[in-house]
Amino acid sequence: MDRYEERKVDNEPIFRSDLERPGPEYESLKPEGGPWSVIKRLLAPLGAIGLLLAKFKGVALLLLKVKFLGTALTMLVSIGAYALLFPVPFAVGIVVLIWVHEMGHVLQLRREGIAASAPMFIPFLGAFVAMKQMPKDALSEARVGLAGPVLGTLGGLATLGLYATTREPLFMGLAYFNFIINLFNLAPVLPLDGGRAVGAMSPVFQLLGLVVMVVLFFVAPIMALVALIGLPELWRRWKTRDTPEGRAYYDLPLLQRVGVGVVYVGLIVVLGLLTGETFVPGPASLV
């Protein structure tokens, strides 16, 4: 770096540039550490997102009507939200793996001939695919529900493969987080994937899912919110179970019921084992 010249005028040093002149020292008005730094970190991304949405509100609303761009926009917002809690690479990985899970639903919906929206992301709650119509029967709904965890499990295995190849701890943390997400989605509670799957076995299992929710609440309090979201749909199905339409929807051969049960329980076992094998305390800290 350039040093100031020793030439002096009236006993004052002359600097080569004003940029090199040391300015007056001020005492910080706000502490750099402690709660203030945490608040600044949390509010800065939210403020930036808010300003962008306010300035380009019309453009944002238009993008949401375009399937691909709407998905991309909600993915970016979710990445920004997760980045408040985790390092950015980990936040990106979470959103990508959730997208893989949701694409399992999208692909199966297309096979069933059911029109649906593109995946839309909700920060801290995952994502969803909105069906434009109900499946023709409970078996079709179960296939759509289970397709997400199936493809999601494959996505986790691919992430684990990346870890085995690169030895990059980020991929181990993401694989563990992914297996937990997919296992959580198999809880037998509407509107989760497990709630849609167990309906093909018997509508009674969907009602018993509320009991499971109460138990899981002490492990994951978010289950209360999930149950509240699915409660109206569960109540509607329970009331209509004895109508001609309701009986026709759940009237499946025993072999099909058993098949759904085998896949459902098998996924729980596989994901449980994978979660145990990849367990790391604080997966985001591996980044």
Domain ranges of the chain: 49-286
Rounded to the nearest integer, the mean pLDDT of the chain is: 80
- Once rounded to an integer, what is the mean pLDDT over residues 99-115? 95
CA Rg, the chain, in Å? 26
The model's confidence at residue 8, banded by pLDDT at 50, 70 and 90, is: very low
- Once rounded to an integer, what is the mean pLDDT over residues 173-178? 96
- Write down the pLDDT at residue 67: 59
Note the pTM of the prediction, 2 decimals.
Answer: 0.74
Residue 166 has pLDDT above 90, yes or no: yes
The model's confidence at residue 217, banded by pLDDT at 50, 70 and 90, is: confident
Q: CA 68 to CA 86: how far, in whole Å?
A: 26
Q: CA 131 to CA 245: how far, in whole Å?
A: 19
List beta partners, residue 5: 14
- Once rounded to an integer, what is the mean pLDDT over residues 43-50? 48
CA-based nearest residue to 186, from 140, 147, 136: 147
SS3 104: helix
10 φ/ψ angles, rounded to the nearest 5 degrees: 55, 40
Of all helices (H) and strands (E), which one includes residue 12? strand 12-14
Residue 251 has pLDDT above 80, yes or no: yes
- Once rounded to an integer, what is the mean pLDDT over residues 269-284? 88
Least confident residue range of 42-56, 69-83, 95-109, 155-169: 42-56
Q: Render the burial of 74-97: b for 16+ CB within 10 Å, e for the rest.
A: bbebbbbbbbeebbeebbbbbbeb
150 versus 285: which is more confidently predicted? 150
284 versus 136: which is more confidently predicted? 136
